[in-house]
Amino acid sequence: MSEKQQQVVIYTDGACKGNPGPGGWGAWLCYGSQEKSLWGGENPTTNNRMELLAAIKALEALKRSCKVELHTDSQYLRQGITQWLPNWKRKNWKTAGGSAVKNKDLWMRLDEQAARHEIDWRWVKGHAGDPGNEKADELANRGVTDPEMTQETSD
């Protein structure tokens, strides 16, 4: 990591009331003593789309290349980006079974954002008391009821 590269810790989560239904995404970013909370939502959508959008929006919020520790409770997101994505791209966005990859538009956006950073993708068990995951869950649920993307920053 170069001296200019910053290390950021991110927690992301998605929520959906019905699947499909009204959904929200949330991301909590921490850099030293600085914190940023992001959230937003869509209707109708799916939980998987909100999980992806949370990671995309968090990475888009970073103004320069960073070393990132990204925590998610979504195996779909973590396995997709770390294991499945290279094969999907090689097979022209087809799954191992030959069908079209679901949420291709978001996977492409996530791939583009992830390429800008050095990311350690970490899975955390949801609803198990992890403070960062609980904060991301709260933000995702806020996105369901307040879907216009908003952010709060604190030092």
Instruction: Give me the domains of the chain, ranges plus CATH numbers.
Output: 6-154 (3.30.420.10)
pLDDT at 3 over 60: no
Q: What is the DSSP letter of 105?
A: H
Q: Which residue has the higher pLDDT, 150 or 14?
A: 14
User: Among candidates 84, 80, 85, 89, which has minimal Cα distance to 49?
Assistant: 80
Q: Catalytic: 71?
A: no
Given this model, what pLDDT does residue 109 score? 98
Concerning whether 14 is annotated as a catalytic residue, the answer is yes
Residue-wise DSSP of 13-24: EEEESSSSEEEE
* Polymer length in residues for the chain: 155
> In the predicted model, what is the mean pLDDT of residues 98-105?
97
Check 24, 41, 73, 80 and give the catalytic one: 73
Q: Alpha-carbon distance 26 to 33, whole Å?
A: 20
Stretch 2-11: mean pLDDT, rounded? 76
Distance in angstroms (rounded) separating the CA atoms of residues 151 and 144: 15
pLDDT at residue 135 greater than cutoff 80: yes
- Strands 150-154 and 6-16, sheet pairing: unpaired
**Residue 132 near residue 12, CB atoms below 8 Å:** no
**Catalytic residue (one of 3, 97, 98, 127):** 127
Judged by DSSP in three states, 121 sits in strand
- Report pLDDT digits (tens) over 41-73: 999 999 999 999 999 999 999 999 999 999 999
For all residues of the chain together, what is the average pLDDT? 94
Rounded to whole angstroms, the Cα distance separating 144 from 123 reads 23
Q: What is the pLDDT of residue 5?
A: 58
